[in-house]
A and B are shown apart, each in its own frame.
Chain A
Amino acid sequence: MTTAPAQAGWRFRQPSVIPGFGLTLGFSLAYLTLIILIPLSGLLWRSAALGWPEFWAIATDRRTINALRISFGTAFVAAAVNVVFGTLVAWVLVRYRFPGRRIVDAMVDLPFALPTAVAGIALTTLYAPNGWIGKLLMPLGIKVAYTPLGIVIALIFIGLPFVVRTVQPIMEEIDKEVEEAAATLGANRFQIITRILFPGLAPAIVTGFALAFARGVGEYGSVIFIAGNLPYKSEIAPLLIVIRLEEYNYPAATAIAAIMLALSFIMLLVVNLAQSWSRKRYG
């Protein structure tokens, strides 16, 4: 058991009688480094080694730009849909009592538990022109499977629990007395929801949106079956990475992956800023 050197003024860790710090931290760091950090820095190192002109050529390739636009665009729409319906589902689960509530609540986690490939072929079968839902939409002229709309459907499925599970606990904590006070002071239900309830929920909704969006951008398994995968039209960025890898075009695969990581990182940063803003504004 090693302990950190005791230095005057600066201490790596607070003293404790509990043993095993060196062993557990050492093992955790080694495992983290081997499994996650070295492989990920390998990716960054490889994309840095490309050189700017080559990187720029890949990044501005029309197919790359379209794939990124489709991935981020469909993920944004799906996350927005999930914010509306996910918040509604959370509200129904928290505020209303009905038989089978426990089962419905458990069902919300299905997208976490169901392998993405299974979700992919199931949704494709449902929304194909001769599928249960596709058949109903066909006469209306709506094509879902093998179009960007299909990608949105798959990402709604994947992202739903992120919104529900982020908003639900915050909703449970809302003090009903505040609502009662507002009601006694003459506020109607609509005013209570928009002025009292929503501001408290806003940071959680933003977080839920961000989680669903981030997951949607990187999603692969459930999307590739339903998307149709037409270059420039319904080809997502993760699929383009796989295609470039299969062509042994490692530089292109690396560059697209690095762009995706960078965009996701910027997005998380923006969301963090939005969150702290909404906490200040409404908190």
Chain B
Amino acid sequence: MADPEIKSYEPHHESQSAAVTESRPARLALMAVAFAFLGIFLLLPLIIVFNEAFAKGIGAYTEALGSADTRSAIRLTLLVAAISVPLNIVFGISAAWAIAKFEFKGKAFLTTLIDLPFSVSPVISGLVYVLLFGAQGLLGTWLKARGIVILFAVPGIVLATIFVTFPFVARELIPLMQEQGNGDEEAALSLGANGWQTFWYVTLPNVKWGLLYGVLLCNARAMGEFGAVSVVSGHIRGLTNTMPLHVEILYNEYNAVGAFAVASLLAGLALVTLVLKTLLEMRYGAEIAATRGH
């Protein structure tokens, strides 16, 4: 918050303030360039989604969303998120507890491994499961003999989604819990609380906003993942088609209204995510981990 300082400078010493900030024309020019860039690269794509979705009126929009394939894609996306997000929450909390509350050998290496999925192309995240469970895969024949279907079915989609959303909750909670230290937990334990009580009544309330923040980002990615899911899904309409995959199919069929109608739902989800995320940062900024970025 260096701003009040600049303002108090300006009226009195125009020349001196110009040395610590840019001149007014330079400032306006920089802002204009930044806004133009953001407008073209961020705002226009968002506007065009809704513009195209409603291009043929609200009737065509609701009709596109009402089709059986679209509804099954929405159901599958919700199902996949409902399985993969809770699993990653459990992992995130567990990993954060082990890493933040204890000192052990190899901790830094483990933290690096958790971030690994972020540096792997989504297509490769899907490919690894094809190599494992596919017909030519390492476990392919074993699974086939037992009638277990993972690839081109819901379990494969869930696995690929878990892979790409793996780090979100953990990397939010680890720095937060490290920052908070062990004092509260040690106090609770010395007063006779057991491990679960300590976690439930002391640790969880301390990290709840950070946890929600991580879950928000995890969920947005889980519902929106395209590349990894595309590789393992097999694109079977009505069965293994998630919303982002359905967008692709409709778009490739030149059904622009349909594609953008489904896309508008995903864009709405993105906007809701951004609003909640901003509210969390404004309201509970101090209770969310200081490290940002993905």
Mask: chain A, 121-150; 1 = CB below 8 Å from B; 0 = not: 111011000011100000000000000000
Binding site for A on B (CB under 8 A): 2-3, 5, 16, 18-23, 27, 30-31, 33-35, 37-38, 40-46, 48-49, 52, 90-91, 94-95, 97-98, 101-105, 110, 113-114, 116-117, 119-124, 127-132, 134, 136, 138, 159, 162-163, 166, 182, 185-186, 189-190, 194-195, 198-199, 217, 220, 223-227, 230-231, 243-245, 247-248, 251, 256, 259-260, 263, 266-267, 269-271, 273-275, 277-278, 282, 292-294
Contact assessment for A18 and B102 in the assembled complex, using a CB-CB cutoff below 8 Å: yes
Q: Which residues of A contact B (CB under 8 A)?
A: 1, 4, 12-14, 16-21, 23-25, 27-29, 31-32, 35-40, 42-43, 45-46, 85, 88-89, 91-92, 95-98, 102, 104-119, 121-123, 125-126, 131-133, 156-157, 160-162, 165-166, 169, 176, 179-180, 183, 187-189, 192, 211, 214, 217-221, 225, 238-239, 241-242, 245, 248, 250, 253-254, 257, 260-261, 264, 268
How distant is the Cα of A264 from the Cα of B123 in the complex, in angstroms? Answer: 14
Main secondary structure on A side of the interface with B = helix
Which has the most chain B C-beta neighbours within 10 Å: A122, A189, A192, A250? A122
Provide 17 A-B residue pairs closer than 8 Å at the C-beta atoms, listed in order of the A residue.
A18-B102, A24-B95, A35-B166, A42-B131, A89-B38, A91-B30, A96-B27, A109-B274, A110-B42, A113-B271, A114-B45, A116-B224, A157-B42, A169-B292, A179-B20, A183-B19, A220-B226
Cβ contact within 8 Å between A133 and B40: yes
CB-CB under 8 A from A166, the residues of chain B are 293
Residues of B within 8 A of A98 (CB): 31
* Alpha-carbon gap, A169 to B292, bound state (A): 9
Would A20 and B199 count as touching, CB distance under 8 A? yes
Whether A106 contacts B122 by the Cβ 8 Å rule is no
Q: Which residue of B lies closest to A91 (CB)?
A: B30
- Chain B residues, Cβ within 8 Å of A165: 292-294
Which residues of chain A come closer than 8 Å to B185, judged between CB atoms? Answer: 18
- The answer for the CA separation of A264 and B267 in the assembled complex, in Å, is 30
Contact A245 B130 (CB under 8 A): yes
